[in-house]
Amino acid sequence: MASSGGISDQLFVSVKLESPRLAELDLDPHLFGSHPVAGSWDPCKALPLERAAAALWDLSCVVPSQHEPLDFKFVLKQKNDSSQCIVEEGPNRSLGCQSNEVEMRSAVFKLDEGNDVLECKIQVETEMLSPFDLAASWRAHQEYLQPSTVRGAHDVTINTGLEGRAKNGFASGLELDLEKYVVPTPNMDSGVVYAANLTENPRSLLQTGSSSNNDTTKDILYNSTKGDSSPNHYAKTMKGTTEGHEPSLEEHRAMFVDRGVGSPNFGRPTKETFSVSNFKLDSEAKQDMPAAEGAVAAAAVADQMYGPKEDRKLAIVLVGLPARGKTFTAAKLTRYLRWLGHETKHFNVGKYRRLKHGTNQTADFFRGDNREGVEARNEVAALAMEDMLSWMQEGGQVGIFDATNSTRIRRNMLMKMAEGKCKIIFLETICNDKDVLERNIRLKVQQSPDYAEQTDFEAGVQDFKERLAYYEKVYEPVEEGSYIKMVDMVSGKGGQLQINDISGYLPGRIVFFLVNCHLTPRPILLTRHGESMDNVGGRIGGDSSLSEAGQLYSRKLASFVEKRLKSERTASIWTSTLQRTILTAHPIIGFPKIQWRALDEINAGVCDGMTYDEIKKSKPEEYESRKKDKLRYRYPRGESYLDVIQRLEPVIIELERQRAPVVVIAHQAVLRALYAYFADKPLEEVPNIEIPLHTIIEIQMGVAGVQEKRYKLMDAVHHTMGL
């Protein structure tokens, strides 16, 4: 049995009972059985289940991991007469010591001697937790008993009464064919694009005098794409029924959860570990996360981040054998740093090689004893490095140098070229999982321009494996300088991050990002809340409820989520703490709902609740200032878009860390910032990104990069202006 520090883990047991008739019959469900689940077989001492929703009761407890099988049953009691008990029919239920299991089974009660039978749906779920997880949960509970005084809301909350998985009852509002609602995606390509093709173009070879990621050299570099870009298909699972109702805010009981970027639900430790050698974080690194004090603190940190950058230039030099995820890791890191406002570019040496020597090179070109091949590859590596250093002299801050760089001779050459010009950190990716390697090899042959003209796919795979074998013969792991090693972190089965001689704010952020990254494919669904009453009135900010159209969208969204994620038990629903997102999420059942203060709409300060016409008339200077620079404009006593981006960083880290689907129900300005991250949009474009009402943006994250699909469930009744 797993343990933590020599202490046995504990088995967390969650029991849920669902029946719409219990309340009508004035009956309360209880549980009794053998020790220690319920303490006694005496019905008078049975443990009551707590009512979590209109037709749902639950009970949670913890038992030692090493225990004998426990027997239990359900019993119903009259509210005013506990002496009368109705015990469920059938044999005793048994609870073993297995972890992470779910049992779905009905309980049948005979209400009288006639034929009146009551059937209740039962879900018993078990999960193994360490003592530290349980302690963290208890601390969270204690915090909830003493609420924060900051704006009267916590940073992150999670509902303690999770509804049992069931069909939401709104299927009639949405046809089974989800593809009917697909609309064109105006901002992203839906096809798979090889990540290396999106890197910096080799200006030293093209002799253009400038560099851009968006010019027409993709045709020159054989930018061909292959593969199936369709989203994952999900297996069919069981459904039930439940009743819905319009909730009051008091009904949304929630538990406070620490703001840290670990899992909001029971802070489980990640499998990734730190092997630290001479790891240093200076005073800057300690200020990387804003205090949870609202817009003022976020704005202060944003001022620091988007003010003068560090004087020292930084080069992240990738190291690793082919098919180890270097290019995809580099692409993710580039996107993250750009989103935070750091001038970053991705330089792929393979792109230089293909332009100078063509794409028809066989495996022999990569032999370590092929002198001409070695010289040719070193030449294009030097050209890419010169381009990167020139770009840094022109104002660039972080360069991502993407190549195998598998020998000390090559790495020494790069360090000599960078001496006195930039700081080098080697980022080595190591993967020993044969299944992952085979998948990556086939994906590489399928997508890489090196094999665009290869008609025999298996012949291409064989050629690539020969190339890989040549690299393996001369490969020398990094042991020199500052480095970060990612060991088996792409497999999704844990891993290790080793770091050496790392210091400074930006390197610290990079380490923090990488330790939370993985390549497990999963969808992230982004949507605005349903139309609110303030949307109808054209008012910004506020905390209004939903209009009739918004309520209709909430039901359609529930039906959509049920169908799209029907087999994803571990999926979760994230909302802000404002009621229009909470109400939009309410009809969605069967998934945990987590509230983030970081997802609250941009703080409009003194303009909160006003229309743009009112702002233009009463505050013309503010109106004009915002019009000139919407990205940096900060509402008086409020926030700017840059402030919003800064407070969303923990959300991005958590989205990267998640291995299961996530549905984010938030607000226009917030979703613009989140979408800009996934779509790798320049910061200047963030305030003008189109995020329409009643539309779902599905982002597919995985080894093939980022893809997008949009579903429009209904038209917006009123045109809404963006913050």
Strand partners, 61: 13
> 431 an active-site residue?
yes
Residue count of the chain: 723
> 601 an active-site residue?
yes
Strand partners, 611: 539
Burial class (CB in 10 A: 0-12, 13-18, 19+), 304: middle
Q: Where do the CATH 3.40.50.1240 domains begin and end in the chain?
A: 523-712
Task: Write down the residue that tokens 């077989």 correspond to.
Answer: 41
HSE-CB for 182 with a 13 A CA cutoff? 14
pLDDT at position 653: 93
pLDDT at position 240: 38
- Helices 371-393 and 349-357: crossing angle in degrees, nearest 10, is 120
Residue 423 is encoded by which pair of tokens? 């700081």
For residue 585, the tally of other CB atoms under 10 A from its CB is: 27
Q: Distance (Å, rounded) from C-alpha 545 to C-alpha 524?
A: 25
pLDDT in tens, 151-183: 344 556 655 444 555 455 444 455 557 778 888
Q: Distance (Å, rounded) from C-alpha 31 to C-alpha 46?
A: 5
pLDDT at position 201: 76
Q: What is the mean pLDDT of each run of 10 residues along the chain (723 residues)?
A: 45 83 87 69 83 82 68 86 83 72 82 82 77 51 42 52 49 62 70 63 63 39 35 33 44 38 30 37 36 40 46 89 90 93 93 88 90 93 95 94 95 95 95 87 86 88 93 94 88 76 90 85 94 94 94 94 86 94 93 92 94 94 93 94 95 91 97 94 94 94 77 76 64
- Residue 10 · residue 65 · CB < 8 Å: yes
| Domain 10-143 = CATH 2.40.50 | no
pLDDT at position 226: 34
- Residue 514 · residue 502 · CB < 8 Å: no
Output the DSSP codes for 543-611: ---B-HHHHHHHHHHHHHHHHHTTT-TT-EEEE-SSHHHHHHHTT--SS-EEEEGGGSPP--GGGTT-B
Q: 0.75 cut: is pTM over it? A: no
At residue 234, the 3 state secondary structure works out as coil
Considering just the CA atoms, what is the radius of gyration of the chain in Å?
Answer: 28
- Helices 326-339 and 668-679: crossing angle in degrees, nearest 10, is 150
Q: Distance (Å, rounded) from C-alpha 10 to C-alpha 132?
A: 10
C-alpha torsion sign, points 9, 10, 12, 13: positive
Q: Distance (Å, rounded) from C-alpha 699 to C-alpha 708?
A: 5
pLDDT at position 37: 53
**Catalytic position from the list 601, 622, 639, 708:** 601
For residue 189, the tally of other CB atoms under 10 A from its CB is: 13
Strand partners, 722: none
Q: How far is CA 258 from CA 138, 650, 691, in A?
A: 12, 12, 30
Cβ neighbors of 482 (< 8 A, separation 6 or more) are 423, 424, 425, 426, 500, 501, 502, 507
pLDDT in tens, 552-579: 999 999 999 999 998 787 899 999 999 9
pLDDT at position 154: 52
Nearest residue to 459 via CA among 474, 445, 479, 438 = 445
Q: How many helices (H) and strands (E) does the chain have?
A: 20, 28
Burial class (CB in 10 A: 0-12, 13-18, 19+), 132: middle
**Catalytic position from the list 154, 252, 342, 529:** 529
CATH code, residues 523-712: 3.40.50.1240
Cβ neighbors of 634 (< 8 A, separation 6 or more) are 299, 605, 640, 643
**Catalytic position from the list 28, 402, 568, 639:** 402
Q: Distance (Å, rounded) from C-alpha 389 to C-alpha 412?
A: 16
Residue 344 is encoded by which pair of tokens? 């970053």
Angle 170-172-174 from CA coordinates, rounded to 5°: 85
Q: Distance (Å, rounded) from C-alpha 53 to C-alpha 580?
A: 20
Angle 267-300-663 from CA coordinates, rounded to 5°: 40
CATH topology of domain 309-516: Rossmann fold (3.40.50)
- Helical H runs in 344-493? 349-357, 371-393, 408-418, 434-447, 457-474
**Catalytic position from the list 18, 28, 133, 431:** 431
- Helices 505-515 and 649-657: crossing angle in degrees, nearest 10, is 40
Alpha carbon 55 to its chain's center? 32
Q: Where do the CATH 2.60.40 domains begin and end in the chain?
A: 10-143
HSE-CB for 217 with a 13 A CA cutoff? 22
Alpha carbon 306 to its chain's center? 24
C-alpha dihedral (581, 584, 587, 593), degrees to nearest 10: -20
Q: Distance (Å, rounded) from C-alpha 158 to C-alpha 5?
A: 28
Q: Distance (Å, rounded) from C-alpha 481 to C-alpha 95?
A: 54
- Residue 403 · residue 346 · CB < 8 Å: no
Nearest residue to 635 via CA among 645, 650, 625 = 625
Q: Distance (Å, rounded) from C-alpha 290 to C-alpha 296?
A: 10
pLDDT at position 721: 58
- Residue 259 · residue 156 · CB < 8 Å: yes
pLDDT at position 376: 93
pLDDT at position 20: 85
> 529 an active-site residue?
yes
Which secondary-structure segment (H or E) carries 80? none
pLDDT at position 489: 78
> 357 an active-site residue?
no
- Residue 459 has φ and ψ, to the nearest 5°, of -65, -40
